[in-house]
Structures are given as structure tokens and as C-alpha cells.
Chains A and B, each alone.
Chain A
Amino acid sequence: MLNRRSFGAATTALTAIGALFQSRKAAAAKPSWDVEIRGTDRRLERLPKLDIESQQDFLTGFRIWVNTDLHRAAQGRANAILKAKGIEPGSDPANDVVVKTISSDPVVGLHSRAWIGGHQLMWKSLYDEFHQNADLYLKELEAADKAGPGILELNPNLELPRYTTHEIHLEPGGYVGDPFAGYMYHYATNTHFTGKNYQDQMHITAASSVPVPKDGKIKRILDQGCSSGQMSVALKQRFPDAEVWGIDVGAPMLRYAHMRAIDLGVDVNFSQRLVEDSKFPDNHFDIVTSYIIHHEMTQEATRQTFKEVMRILRPGGVYYPVDIYTSQPVSKDAYTKYRAWMDSRWNCEPWRLDYAAMDFPKEISAAGFHVNQDGPPGWEGRRYNIVAVKPA
């Protein structure tokens, strides 16, 4: 059994890492094409209008209220209803029974509507801004496409699996269908993460926790499903001598990720590829990471991804996937299960429940990895995360 200590550098203190992640302005001059209407707050370009920033600020606070006070109120009602029907809330009741029993309650309904309504408005204010000023932002992306450091590879002939083309968590157009998907994703997730990621803190935490291969050799790193590139950039800043690649299915996401990496003065390569069929050579990478992608993938695609990582990692290489259940067990609590069902059904996370039903460590082992379930946590407040190593 591998243990946390065998992964050495994962224990790097966040405060020391912080020195590497200072204001982008310290490392990079502002590119001439950069649309930066209201300046930056360290790593974050401020939203282009004060009112939009304030609306997102409100929705951040509203989400906190919905996820705490309103959640507790609705959960209390749900538990009382379940008990009255002879169902013990903590007994892992079946989803369909829970949904049928509690969803007509007005407080549960209010919780659901407040959560979804806030989410819809979060996307709408961003969508309207970027589409109303489409030429301005498309021009910015076009200029960044051709700039460096780092390269941008788009593949218009890539056949997109249907599962990747949904409007995941209600993002208009999803990851592939809207030219401003990267802009919207970045600012919406800032709200979604309730203000805890304005300076990429969550990605920096994850990147600083990535275990180093036992022999210490790190030439190439792959960040799968890189979205707006925050994890890829944090990896490059932690491992400046490594060649870092971020891959994603969505061209609009990659264009934004590339543009932002340039803006931060960080040399990362971004490429439009499938995580389950990346076309990279065998034994090519020393480390492969992913950040919250598997709950957005089908079970079949996840299994294929494990095989693909086994192929492209070199012997002794480290695989570090971070997602909802790589660092905590699936809850047996009725209302928590109801919320997961809500997320899947109405927040357009179609495969979240399938993901929860998978035995992740067992599946990764089945692909040939040595799995450590007690690796360093990728999220603040968690105690562990899965780490897999390709046998040497």
C-alpha cells in the first residue's frame, strides 16, 4: 500500500507556493489586444461593468444563503416528511422514493427554485454582456490565438462525443456551443465557488497538492479537461521547468484558457483533444491531472479515460484526478441525495448520478494502476484524495 509520504513534494506549504502566484503584472506586460476595461485585481481581470460585478456579488451571497440557511430549513422539512412516512433519512433511501415523497413540499420547492433561479441569472448577466459586445471580445480572442507564450491547437475536425455537448450546469451553449464559453465559465464559477476562487486559490491548492513521481523526474504534465485553464496555469507555475499541456473538448474554452495564460505570462500549451482518446504518444507524460471532469462524463468515457491515462503515462508516472467523490464518500443522507438528483436533472449534470455509482478506486485499479486512496487532498477542508501510479 502506498502512503502519502511516498509522494514527497505534495506537502509543499501553500504560503511558499503563494510567492510564485503573484500579480500577473509582475511577470507579464499587458498585451496590446487585451480588453481590460476596469483593470485587474491581481490575477483576476475585473468584470467589464460595475453593475455586472455587483449582480455577481449579490448572486454569490445569495448562493451562500441558499446553501446554508435555506438548505437547513428545507432539509428539516424533508426529514420530517420522510420520518412521517416511515422512511429514515440517513438510511440511504432510493432516489425515486425520496423525490416522490418530498418534492411537492413548498419549502423544498422554494429551495430548488432559489438555487436554480440564482444559477440561471448568474449565466444570463454574463451571457448578455459578452454577446452585446461580441466583436470586441472575438477580436481579443483572435489576437490571442496567434500570440504566445504557449501554443493553441484547435481541431475543427474533432468528432465531439454527444455527452460532451450538453449545456452542463446550464451554461448557455455548454463548453462547445458558445464563443464566450470560457469567459462565462470563469466568472460564473467564481460566483459558484462563492468567492473562494477569485485568485485561482482552489486550483493553486490542487496544483500544489499534486504528488511528484518517486524518481522526481517531471518533464511533461497533462491537465485533462482544462476548461478555462486555471489548473494548467497553476501546474506550470508550480513546475516551471516542465512542459504543461491543457486539453479540452471545447474550442471556445481553450481559446480563453490560452488568452488568459498569455495574460498571466505563463507558458502552457492548449490543445483540443478528447481525454479518452488524446492521440499523445505512449509513455509521454510524467503527471496527468484532472479537476472536476468525471462527474460530467459517462461511465464508459471515464473507464476509457483511465485506460488512456495508463497508456500515455510513463512507468512510475502519477495520475491525480480531483472530483466530488475522490475525496469523500457518496452520502447516504436522503436530502443530500435529493440535491444530487436535482443537480443531475435540472442543473443539467446528466451523468452525476452515474459517476456517484462508480467505484472509482476499483475502476482505476482495473486499468492497471497502483491506487492510494489516502493521497494528499486537492481541496481545502478535505483530508485525502485518490492518487494512482503506473507501475514501473
Chain B
Amino acid sequence: MAAKTDRATHTSDYVKNDTHNAVFMGNPVIDDMMTAIISLSSDVWAVKRRQKVMESLLASKGITREMVENYMPTEAETAEWQSERDTYIRRTFSHMARTAEVAIDAPQNK
């Protein structure tokens, strides 16, 4: 979502692209599923990369893998994590809703 601000942005009017109408895989739902898979994959990699950072740092501080496996989250942590989970799901699967925005006479990659 675009920023709401009172500060000067020094922007001008522009011509919007129409790539949201593109259908490459014969069915817009399949196109959107591919986009969702790419998005999901990028998040999976982000988690793996963060985990690598943490494992390196934790190992240097004496935190073992077993201690991580057995950790019990607090109530506050549980609530925070659930909120993050819901944001994550919206970000990943909102692409599926794009199908409704594709004009019914949209060019089929022609």
C-alpha cells in the first residue's frame, strides 16, 4: 500500500502498466499459483537464511539444538506469532485473488 504522508514526495503522474492482465499458462489461476509458489519459496529461503545466522550465533553462545527443540513459547509470543502467521498467509495467497481482477476479455498472451 502506498505511503500516506504530508511530506513532499516530488512525484508526478505516471502511466500504469497492464501486466496484471497477462495470462501465460492458459488459465489465470495457474499463473497465480506459480506466482504464489515463487513467493512462498522466497519466504522459505528467508527463513532458512535467518536460521543459518541464528545457528551460528547460538552455537557461539552455547545454545544447543536440543534446547531449541524443547522450547515452550509464552502466551505473548504465541499471540505475536499467530499474527505474523496470518500476515504471511495473506501475502502468499493474495495472488490467488488476482484472478477476479483479470478482465474477462483479457489478451491471452497475444
Contacts and interface: CB of A to CB of B under 8 A. Distances in A.
**B is a partner of A:** yes
A120 B46 contact: no
Given A58-B41, A62-B38, A117-B38, A131 B2 contact: yes
A164 to B, nearest CB: 9
B15 A55 contact: no
B39 A138 contact: no
Contacts of B17: 166-167, 170, 348
A103 interface: yes
Contacts of B5: 134-135, 138
Given A121-B42, A138-B5, A116 B24 contact: yes
Contact of B46 (A54, A104, A109, A130): A54
Interface string A175-202: 0111100000000000000000000000
A135 B24 CA distance: 38
The number of chain A residues touching the other chain, given as a range, is 35 or more
A237 interface: no
Contacts of B53: 50
A55 B43 contact: yes
Contact of A114 (B8, B38, B42): B38
Nearest to A66: B38
A177 to B, nearest CB: 3
Contacts of A255: 10
A383 interface: no
B25 interface: yes
A252 B10 contact: yes
A251 interface: yes
A156 B12 CA distance: 9
Which secondary structure dominates where chain B touches chain A? Answer: loop
B14 A54 contact: no
A106 B24 CA distance: 8
A58 B25 contact: no
Contact of B38 (A103, A118, A138, A174): A118
A252 to B, nearest CB: 6
A176 B11 contact: yes
Interface of B: 1-5, 7-17, 19, 22, 24-26, 31, 34-35, 38-39, 41-43, 45-46, 49-50, 53, 108-110
Q: Which 6 A-B pairs have the closest CB atoms?
A: A134-B3, A177-B14, A54-B46, A179-B9, A251-B10, A58-B45
28 contacts: A50-B46, A50-B53, A51-B50, A55-B43, A57-B45, A58-B45, A58-B46, A62-B38, A100-B110, A104-B26, A110-B25, A110-B34, A112-B109, A113-B24, A113-B25, A114-B38, A117-B34, A120-B19, A121-B38, A121-B42, A134-B4, A156-B10, A166-B15, A167-B14, A176-B14, A251-B11, A346-B22, A348-B17
